[in-house]
Amino acid sequence: MTFNTDLPIIAGNWKMNGLNQSKKEIGSLLKKITNISKSNVILFPPFTIIETFAKLTENSGIFIGAQDCHHEDYGAYTSAISASMISDVNAKFVIVGHSETRTANNYTNNIIRLKAEAAHRNNLIPIVCVGESDLHRKSGDQFNFVKAQLEESLPQSTTRDNTIIAYEPIWAIGTGNTAATKDIVEMVNCIFSKLNSMKSNKKDIPRCLYGGSVNPSNSRDILSIENIGGLLVGGASLDSSQFSEIINLI
Ligand code: 13P
């Protein structure tokens, strides 16, 4: 089972949800997906069940990833989980720089870049999250803010094959307040013009997902936006009916 960089990506971030008993969700999800070969489906369960989920989804068409990683591979970092540990249990992806982890840990863009580099070193594909707060948007600073995040968080080694970007406006996460199509289009254009200025080769420009209150009713419109390579779904990915409905729209 290989990641197909030409297909859309539908990713589900479970955040701090999921116990061993949630493995039955994998069975129901697989039963409800009717078109598994048309997209790359990635689930990001909590660390404790990554190994179980990776085993359960082997060759099923669903990939497993982790929600964060440390920037070092090992050492005296109590409580931390490294990219090498994630790779060791057969996860293939890792989210870095999600706004919830940036805020909770005061992560700088520089740390996010080191995490993405650790992912690359350990054969994981990082999903590097960017996105402005309500305050930045209200002050009209959203484009400069996201451009600086890209400039400082993306490793030199970034290519379309080894890295994914997710635009997740903080004010849209978990609020039911999905960004308007116009706002997504404007920001995605800004992201791609910034990436074009950073990379001389088109093959090195990663794809961009949208995340923030995605659900079965709004996903078709968001997926039809030019240059949107897929979705990073939070709450709706916890429910196999809603998540499969989103996947089946592809
Ligand atoms: P919601 O879909 O619950 O808004 O979460 C989005 C998100 O943070 C995905 O990483």
Residues 2 and 199: their CA atoms lie apart, in Å, by 25
Return the pLDDT at 127.
98
Ligand 1 atom with least separation from CA of 129: 10
Going by the DSSP 8-state scheme, the letter that residue 190 receives in this structure is H
Nearest-atom index, ligand 1, CA of 175: 4
Find the 10 Cα to ligand 1 centroid distance in Å.
12
**Helices 142-153 & 181-198, crossing angle to 10 degrees?**
40
Name the pairing type of β-strands 9-13 and 93-96: unpaired
Strands 93-96 and 164-167: unpaired
213, 13 in Cβ contact below 8 A?
A: no
Going along the chain from its start, the domains and CATH numbers come out as 102-235 (3.20.20.70)
pLDDT value of position 203: 86
Residue 137, pLDDT score = 97
Ligand 1 atom nearest the C-alpha of 99 is 8
- Please report, in tens digits, the pLDDT of each residue of the chain (250 residues total): 789 999 999 999 999 999 999 999 999 999 999 999 999 999 999 999 999 999 999 999 999 999 999 999 999 999 999 999 999 999 999 999 999 999 999 999 999 999 999 999 999 999 999 999 999 999 999 999 999 999 999 999 999 999 999 999 999 999 999 999 999 999 999 999 999 999 989 889 999 999 999 999 999 999 999 999 999 999 999 999 999 999 999 9
Rounded distance from Cα 75 to ligand 1 centre (Å) = 31
Rounded to 5°, angle at Cα 176 from 239 and 217: 60
Residue 202 confidence (pLDDT) = 86
CA of 12 to the centre of ligand 1 (A): 8
From ligand 1's centre to the CA of 214, what distance in Å? 7
Type and span of the H or E element at 51? helix 50-56
Ligand 1 atom nearest to CA at 100? 8
Q: Is the dihedral of CA 231, 234, 237, 242 positive or negative?
A: negative
- How many residues are given for the chain? 250
The answer to whether 177 and 194 are in contact (CB under 8 A) is: no
State which of 9, 10, 15, 100 you would mutate to test the pocket of ligand 1, scoring each by most atoms of that ligand within 8 A of its C-beta.
15
Distance from the alpha carbon of residue 210 to the mean position of ligand 1, in angstroms: 10
- Rounded to whole angstroms, the Cα distance separating 176 from 179 reads 9
Which atom of ligand 1 lies at the shortest distance from residue 15's CA?
10
Identify the pLDDT of residue 142. Answer: 98
Residues with CB under 6 A from ligand 1: 13, 98, 168, 173-174, 211-214, 232-236
Distance CA 126, CA 115 (A): 8
Q: Cα separation of 195 and 150, whole Å? A: 8
| Catalytic residue list | 98, 168
Question: Quick one: pLDDT at residue 239?
Answer: 97
- pLDDT the model gives residue 1: 73
pLDDT at 2: 85
191: three-class secondary structure by DSSP: helix
Residue nearest to atom 2 of ligand 1 (CA): 234
With the most atoms of ligand 1 within 8 angstroms of its CB, the residue from 214, 222, 243 to mutate is: 214
From 103, 129, 232, the mutation candidate for ligand 1 (largest count of ligand atoms within 8 A of CB) is 232
Give the pLDDT of residue 234: 98
